[in-house]
Amino acid sequence: MTNDVETTPNTPPRAGARWGQERRLEFIDYRLHWDGHLNRSDLTSFFGISVPQSSLDLAEYIKRAPGNLTYDTSTKVYRAPSSFQALFASSSLERYLEDLLRATVSPEGLHGSFLGWYPPVATVPRPWRRLDVTAVIAVVKAIRQHEALTIRYQSFSSATPSVRVVTPHALVNNGFRWHMRAYCHTNDDFRDFLLSRVLEIEKSKIDQERASADRAWHNMVRLVLAPHPELESGHRKVIELDFGMTEGECSFECRQALLFYALQQLGLDQPDSGKSAKAQQIILNNRDELAEFLPKTSYR
């Protein structure tokens, strides 16, 4: 995907820089891919541009991908042929599904989304964890400015809150809860702290860059999944299909620091869950290789 400007996490893009022609070409590509059709009014209404400008954008898109659209003179609509091949990464399946998920949260405010028509979509509801907006703002500021925070924190291992000094360097979402990954000055190591358990931020002070020393954060480990060996052949094939397995296995990489959460979501955090093969369905095929990284407790 071509960007109008190069940015880093610490360098925000110039105002309006992503709303140039390149962004509009992404829009054309996305709508053709997922809606199957597009007309000039889609461009003019979404971007607030003139009809002549929309024509120029369509001409540029045709120049780059001449086989990606045909013009239907009867309806005055551009259509994607069966041979359509997406030109931009922003038209990917992953992006589309992420946009659908966002639509379930805020269907009236899909800022930055190229969604046109989309099917009814729902997600499984879950209880919302308590989060203090001022605490989250303070943590984000601390990450940006390399600050140490003195917090009053309620851990699961203690019945009463404790005071910790932490220097956060990243935010983590495990699918259910938000954490900050931080250097704990009290314990002299890197740990995860649930944002919902930060009861108070007492003060902050300038520290130093800590992220580069967090080896578990930067170290990537490989998880190899396979169907449960006690499944019947037909059921194993179903699991292989679900996970896109090749020769009975699939693998993916994960930060070592997030291994606990990845295994927990897969129901693989315990070597013997006591579940039947049909209930468990998959196993961690390289558990021995990951032994040194596996969590020693299932409580967090």
Q: With 90 as the cut, is the pLDDT of residue 222 above it?
A: yes
Q: Which of 133, 169, 217 is nearest to 9 (CA)?
A: 169
Please state the pTM of the whole predicted model: 0.76
**Can you list the alpha helix ranges (DSSP code H) found in the chain?**
21-34, 40-47, 51-64, 93-105, 133-145, 215-218, 233-242, 259-266, 277-280
- The larger pLDDT score, comparing residue 123 to residue 184, is at 184
Q: Side by side, which strands form the sheet with 189-194? A: 189-194, 178-184, 162-173, 147-153, 198-206
Region label for 146, one of left (φ > 0), alpha (ψ between -120 and 50) or beta (otherwise): left
282-to-57, 163, 224, 271, 277 alpha-carbon distances in Å: 48, 41, 10, 12, 8
pLDDT of residue 107: 64
pLDDT at 2: 36
- Give the residue from 223, 216, 201 showing the smallest Cα distance to 269: 223
First-to-last alpha carbon distance for the chain, in angstroms, is: 39
Q: What residues contact 53, with CB distance under 8 A and at least 6 apart? A: 43
**Percent of the chain with pLDDT strictly greater than 70:** 90
Better pLDDT: 254 or 9: 254
Cα separation, 12 vs 6, whole angstroms = 9
- Name the residue with higher pLDDT: 29 or 120: 29
Which tokens hold the place of 53?
A: 């400008």
> What pLDDT, on the 0 to 100 scale, is given for residue 19?
59
Average pLDDT over residues 221-235: 95
The pLDDT tens digits for 54-94 are 999 999 999 999 999 999 999 999 999 999 999 999 999 99
pLDDT cut 90: percent of the chain above it: 70
